[in-house]
Amino acid sequence: MSVSEMFAALQGALGQDQDIREEIRKVVQALEQTAREILTLLQGVHQGPGFQHIPKKCQKAREHFGTVRTQMESLKTKFPADQYYRFHEHWRFVLQRLVFLAAFVVYLESETLVTREAIAEILGIEADRERGFHLDIEDYLSGVLTLASELARLAVNSVTAGDYSRPLRISAFINELDSGFRLLNLKNDSLRKRYDGLKYDVKKIEEVVYDLSIRGLNKEATAGAGGEK
C-alpha cells in the first residue's frame, strides 16, 4: 500500500468518526432542550405559590422524562456499544443535568435521595457498565451535588414563602448527604472540586435554620412538622 493509499484509508476512518460525533451531537442537543424544559418547569417551585403545585409539577416532569427515554434510545444507536467512554464527553454534561433533575423530582415527591439504579430507570439507561449505555457513578454523584445546591436555594425561598418546616427537613437531608460523601475517597479532580462546594451549601442552609431559631420560627416549624410536607 502506498503512502497516499494509507492516508486515504485514514481519512476514511476520520470521516466515519466525525459522522458519528455529528449524529451524537444532534441527539444531545435534543436532550439538552428537554432538560431545559424540565428545569423551567421545576423552577416554579421556588416561587411563592409553587409549593402548592409540587405534585402537579412533578407529574408533568415525569412526562417529560418519557421524552428523555426516547431520546436516550436514539443516542444508544449512534455509536458502537463498546465505545461508550470514547464519546462520553459529548453527553456527560447533559446526563449530569438530567440526573440532577430526576433527583430533584424524587426529592420533591418523597424527600429522599434517589438511588443510581432508580435514576437509570427514569432515564431509560443501565446502571451496570457491563450492560451497555449506563449511568456512570461520577455522573450520578455530580448530579446529586447539583441537587444539594438547588435545595440550599429552596430552603431560602421556603422561608420567604412562609414554609418554616421545610428548611429544617432540608437541613437534615443535606447533613446526611454530606456524611455520605465523606465516606467516599474521591480521586476525580472535577468531582472533588464540586464536592468541596457542598460545605457552602451546608453552611447556607445552617444560616437559614439559625435565622429561624433566633426569630423563634423553628418552634412553629417543629410544631407543624407532623403536618403536610
Other residues' Cβ atoms within 10 Å of the Cβ of residue 204: 17
SS (H, E, C) 76-126: HCCCCHHHHHHHHHHHHHHHHHHHHHHHHHHHHHHCCCCCHHHHHHHHCCE
Q: Which residues of 59-95 are buried (b: 16+ CB within 10 A; e: fewer)?
A: ebbeebbeebeebbeebbebbeeeebeebeebbbebb
Question: CA-CA distances (angstroms) from residue 201 to 31, 47, 188?
Answer: 28, 20, 20
Angle at Cα 100 formed by Cα 58 and Cα 188, nearest 5°? 170
User: Is residue 150 part of an annotated ligand binding site?
Assistant: yes
Residues of the binding site for Mg(2+): 150
Residues of the binding site: 150
